[in-house]
Amino acid sequence: MKMLITGAAGFIGSHAAERFEAEGHEVVGVDNFNDYYAVELKKLNAEDLVKKGVELIEVDLRVEESYRLLPTDFDFIIHFAAQPGISESCTFEQYLTNNIIATEKLLKFAHQNKNLKHFINIGTSSIYGLEATFSEDREPKPASKYGVTKLAAEQLVLAESRSKKMSACSLRLYSVYGPRERPEKLYTKLIACAFKKEPFPLYEGSERHLRSFTYVGDIIDGIVAVINSYKITNGEIINLGTTVEHTTQDGIEYVEELLSLKIKMKVTNKRLGDQWRTNANIDKAKKLLDYNPTTGLKEGLQHQIDWYKEKFL
């Protein structure tokens, strides 16, 4: 099968591109290599992908002319590209254009692919709001511009399915971590601070937050299962994550244990819109996809530490 993966130089997208290429699919990845975080890190991911046979094209999904660079014979489109996270440095326009406008233009492009079997939108547990412990039929109550715009993007995609114009689904991911995690995210920043002997900026009260920290490999397993069973996922919203909860403090202590050192904390102001609890309800994923994440937090963090050592030390 031929696949288009957007945001392929990013954290989760790069793992998906790598996995599908290894499974024998023809993979084309696109990324706009924006400077939300160091472009050099995305280029490291891109280099790894190109070495493994993935074709990578620099494309801005917000610009219609960019789509002329792409073939129109894809069987599947997996849409990771977005303005991620909750950041005071991001404007509403950045969330709007990257998460909503880009998705709308990508859907127009998708219709040019006459062999397209399925469009997979990558959503987020932030759609649920400050607490994300619910099944997929729960009313969404996003509490951040990120969550609001990701909900809008999800609905654009599902509208195509409801109107029977396209087979599509949306996956809501939970607190993903692992190798290639973005540098501003919890564990990459924590590991970096440990090795650089710098204080870690801890948002006030966040050490008590509960999370379904889900290893990236378990997320990719779920996406592979969707591809293998795409006909029964049309029109569905599906949570992907682990049902095991940990506090942020648990994660900090695991990293300290694995590195055999104590990391100094620097408490900063609370972050508005930050979820206080996520716990993935994956009953639907189990039923439809036989989904079963298996990687424990300590095991996954060891993989992430090993990656960091290989790339940055």
**Which CATH number is 79's domain given?**
3.40.50.720
pTM: 0.97
Q: 88-117 pLDDT, tens per residue?
A: 779 999 999 999 999 999 999 999 999 999
Contact between 84 and 32 (Cβ < 8 Å): no
Residue 220 lies in a domain: yes
Can you give the pLDDT at residue 273? 80
Q: Average pLDDT in the 15-26 region?
A: 98
Q: Average pLDDT in the 193-197 region?
A: 97
Contacts of 104 (CB under 8 A, 6+ apart): 156
Residue 273 lies in a domain: no
Domain that holds residue 105: 2-173+216-241+281-293
Residue 211 lies in a domain: no
Q: Which percentage of the chain shows pLDDT scores above 90?
A: 95
Can you give the pLDDT at residue 242? 98
Residue 254 lies in a domain: no
Q: How confident is the model at residue 230 (pLDDT cuts 50, 70, 90)?
A: very high
Of residues 312, 297, 45, the one with CA closest to residue 195: 312
Residue 109 lies in a domain: yes
Mean pLDDT of the chain: 96
Q: Average pLDDT in the 81-91 region?
A: 86
Can you give the pLDDT at residue 270? 87
Residue 158 lies in a domain: yes
Residue 118 lies in a domain: yes
Residue 70, classified by CB atoms within 10 Å of its CB into exposed (0-12), middle (13-18) or buried (19+), is: middle
Count: domains in the chain: 1
Q: How many CA atoms lie within 13 A of 193 on its CB side?
A: 21
Q: How confident is the model at residue 85 (pLDDT cuts 50, 70, 90)?
A: confident
User: In angstroms, rounded to a whole number, what is the distance separating the alpha carbons of residues 120 and 230?
Assistant: 9
Sign (positive or negative) of CA dihedral 138, 142, 146, 149: positive
Residue 50 lies in a domain: yes
Q: How confident is the model at residue 87 (pLDDT cuts 50, 70, 90)?
A: confident
Residue 234, classified by CB atoms within 10 Å of its CB into exposed (0-12), middle (13-18) or buried (19+), is: middle
